[in-house]
Amino acid sequence: MKILNAQHSLRHYLEQVSDKLITVVSASASETESLIETLVEKGNRLDLLVGTINSFSSPDFIDFCVRDAGANVTLHVDFRAQNSVHWKLILIEPDVVVLGSANFTEIGLSLTRDTCTVIQDAALYAEYLARVSEIKGMEGVVLGQDSRAFDEQLEEYRQSHRRVQASLARSAQYLDGESWLGDETNQSIPLFIWYSDHSDESEEQAEAFLHASSDGVDWEDVREFFTYECAEGVLPYEEGDMVLTARCNGTHIGFYTFDRILYRNGTYFIYSYRKKRYTQPFKLEDAKERLKDVIPEWYEEMRTSLNRHDINSVVR
């Protein structure tokens, strides 16, 4: 038996494994796609089971495992939300059991704040493998390769994940982007990139629609408004979202709260109200120069959210 730590991390330990079946059970998983690729390159087969408590497992990670990781990776997702699996367990055939507090996330596997123990015990390995098999057979635990049932539940989960992340972006404030990244529950922030300034006509329409909405807000109380053309019901934002906004050339970068959203004839009118104090997930000063470089690319990709990798690329 041995204890791993930040100097001898769980990620480093796993990277030394080759030609084995590796079974992973984790309450949440994110940002470890590159490790999966490394393990597959070393001839390993991976069997993963991830939970959905608090909607913290990344939909991007789930998509990668199912769509892109290849035939040597299988994934079950426990869609039972708060009742889903909360284990942190790794089994390596024929007899290695890794137990601890580390989720299958970048921060978790680094062991900068978690711990785990490596135990070589064939009987314990076999017993845990049997228990994992039992969990896979429970209602609400779905194999990624069962495409139709899986896809339907994944889409529902994706919406739940988006709502949780939007709520965190509204309520949590950090000194800087690195501090935001230091909390791995933060995984995404809504993004809105616009093309051109408003015309006089669109501004008049926005003011008229707001007055007609009878919510008691005067036009003078509007800090900024945005427009988004799409079919009704498919807008990728909701009222109350805290959104990183910018013009497509990388200027006018800032966080805005989408306080009121109105739909008229193929266009959503989105209003951000004036407040005594403007909140934001983290300060943007140190990131604006790098954001200016990448925002045109994100605009071409029609991005409507940023994940941890995106944010890491502009704040570090």
Nearest to 31 by CA among 163, 141, 167, 185: 185
Is 316's pLDDT higher than 80? no
**How far apart are alpha carbons 307 and 36 in whole angstroms?**
19
Is 100's pLDDT higher than 80? yes
pLDDT tens sequence across 109-128: 999 999 999 999 999 999 99
**How far apart are alpha carbons 61 and 71 in whole angstroms?**
16
Is 269 within 8 Å of 261 (Cβ atoms)? yes
pLDDT tens sequence across 174-211: 988 899 999 989 999 999 999 988 888 889 999 999 98
pLDDT tens sequence across 221-279: 999 999 999 999 999 999 999 999 999 999 999 999 999 999 998 999 999 999 888 88
- Both tokens of 239, joined, read 């009222």
pLDDT band for position 146 (cuts 50, 70, 90): low
User: Of the ranges 107-111, 214-218, 287-291, which one carries the lowest mean pLDDT score?
Assistant: 214-218
Domains, in order of start, for the chain: 2-161 (3.30.870.10), 172-315 (no CATH)
pLDDT tens sequence across 50-63: 999 999 999 999 99
Q: 188-194 and 305-307: which strand pairing? A: antiparallel
- Both tokens of 231, joined, read 């079919």
